[in-house]
Structure 1
Amino acid sequence: MALLFCRTDDQSRKFPLPPQTDGGDFSEMPLLFYRTDDQNGTFPPLRSIAVVAGASILAFFLYKRVYRRKKKKKEVVETSTLPVVSQHQYVQHRHGLTGITMDKSVEFSYEELAIATDDFSLNNKIGQGGFGSVYYAELRGEKAAIKKMDMQASKEFLSELKVLTNVHHLNLVRLIGYCVGGSLFLVYEYIENGNLSQHLHSSRRDPLPWSTRVNIALDSARGLEYIHEYTVPVYIHCDIKPANILIDKNFRGKVADFGLTKLTEYGTASLNSSLADFGLARVTIYGSDLLYTNPMGTFGYASPEYTQYGKISPKIDVYAFGVVLFELISGKEAVGLVASFRNVLSLPDPGEYLHKLVDPRLGDDYPFDSVCKLVELANACTQEDPQLRPSMRSIVVALVSLSSSTEDWDFGSFYENSWSSPSNFWKRMLMKPHVNW
């Protein structure tokens, strides 16, 4: 027990606590002093002190609980969007994302991006994609395009960030940096002439000359060849279409938008580990292909084996690229385009009808033999059987030959299997004297 003293300005009075039940000695017990200016010597009730102390303790615990909840929520947002990046170091992401190497200089603040885009005004908006809006800006002396994405697109954000920090090529759009602040931001090099879809399908753009179309096809093929053949692991774009092929000031093509990119490695365990890094579903090995449980892409460009069975291989990019070639030839939208060309190729005399499929904005300013070659290449790319489609490496070789217009093509080399033969269309066309090969 203790004795409680209440001290006033002129006296001290003792208020004994309740006596011990065992009658013990109070002489060695500590004293608790409470100072007051109350001249009457009245002592505040112990009940009041207990209430104040209890309320203080309760307030403290409530504050700690709210603080911890806010802190946990903040950590969830941060860890589900972007790993912490330090200069020249590998990232260890809480959800397993590893292997991103970036220089600290590529991290932008939200304030810097907001100032550069006039607070993301409509005047600076230059595009709208499936995962966000794109704004023009000038950052640190360089023209840039800023893609603003919602937090719900964090998987696509991380996928594109990982690909473009590991893969660099002249015909792939270059990533400058990123930002996380309320939304997710990716900062790219600015490509002056928009995308291929705008040039093919918008009446506000001048028609692309035939030679330019062939060069854009070659540039895009080289970008895809690089991610298919020369990177480890191999990347599969999964969303090739004109809107994702950008045109620079020299009218050369660059492949963009890697938000749906998949990757392949040897062995199911290592593959699933890598797909988990992207936040993607697990896959299983099926022959030489991969089975993906949640196919995504754009209607009209997705290959049959991808849409029906979820099979992933570089050949799904080849199929989509073939559809793009048909669009370059015709200027028409993708849906139903493969069937239109197939119907013409099945006719007894397809050459006459091919003229009608060529983009009317070209007039007569195109070499028909070049058109026929590109039609055959597109037809090879869009074969229903992926094993009959050429590789991107073979496509690049064919397009180099077409762009130079000095070499004949070996049509059988378009196909992966040596036993595949050219289509009946070419057997007929090769016999026509007006076609100069």
Structure 2
Amino acid sequence: MTAEVPTTPPGDAAATREASERGGLPGAVDPPAGGGEAHAASDSALARVVREESGRIVAALTASLGNLDLAEESVAEAVEEALREWRVRGIPPRPGAWLTQAARHNALDRMRRDRRYREKLALLAGATVPTAGEVDERLPLIFGCCHPALSPDAQLALTLRAVCGLTTAQIARATLASATAVGQRIVRAKRKIGAAGIPIRIPEGDDRADRLDLVLTVVSVMYSEAHLVAGRDAAADRDLADDALWLSGVVAAALPREAEAHGLHALLLFHRAREGARAVDGELVLLGDQDRGRWDAALLSEAHRTLESAARLRRSGRWQLHAAIAACHADASSSAATDWLQVLTLYDMLLRYDRSPVVRLNRAVALAAVEGPVEALAEVDSLESALAGYHLWHAVRAHLLRLLGRDAEATAADLRALDLTDNQAERRLIVARLAR
């Protein structure tokens, strides 16, 4: 299976997203008889508002208070209040403004109970919280969460949680870590931000350059997490994917001289352009089998222009190389017509910047097309210790084993991939391959 392996493998203010995966919201109880449809409508509206607004509200309150933990807790309380009140009184005319005001009042109440924050009451009382139309409020929070005083793992986990609203389980999937480890990283990171007084702002000069790559990684993981959601079919979480694409555009627009910011935005545009052919009637279609006539030509053109803008800045990097690889696929009229030698060359260049196991797994797919399955399988097998728990490692390995006629081993690898994915479209794809 020549899988379209993600750039990064797929992934309490975030408790709402976690509960929405279970079919409910934080604090939800079984609705009283007769209220099921109304409650479902209000719960759905609340889940949508939380997804669209929570990151902005947390960012604005954090900027006002200088306390990420307080901001997150205030928003989480507001979500629980909304769950109860909207079921009884209905969805308010401006649900985002309702949630914003409730979170602000919760923060005020908490501060009144704590004398240490009295001097900040005036700041909060006069603070304004962004509306959905304002596009840059989360950017300082992203850079604050990516402060070098935090470990790289903690930076990534905290940003995905506080800014993007991903759940602990989603972050664990995205980072190939356990949910327990992710939870501990988030707690430690928030404590360190408070204790060290880490500023929530966009840094300048070398400080910004050091943090930019992680910021771009966070946005990439956010986009990857929108696809192949556990328990669902092949359709992406379009809201989350759109939010990641929008956020990559915000970063690129805010930092016009940063080539890598444009590189990531181009990469996500290429991926988004293929979305209409990647998921058809709930079924997953692999890159080599996609109807390329269904690719979005306008988005592909925009992706090429964005990649050219990055290239004009003459500062190469891993995100531009990822985008260049995506451009090779976009330019080919079919999978067979793909310039696999160029793809492999670009992956070899990418290894200078990023030798992560997932990048090497992607490279192995190109290596198989250029040099054959024997060399590719040797590379894939060398990644076992790092990727044995990653379903796409087993899926790619099964494909290579089958090319070599080692069908029994290929079947075992496919069965292991089946065990490791909860996405229904992927499971159906693997089952169909096993049946063949």
Calculate the TM-score normalised by the size of structure 2.
Answer: 0.27
Q: Which has the higher contact order (CA 8 A, sep 6+)?
A: 2
Calculate the TM-score normalised by the size of structure 1.
Answer: 0.27
- Asked which structure has the greater CA Rg, the reply is 1
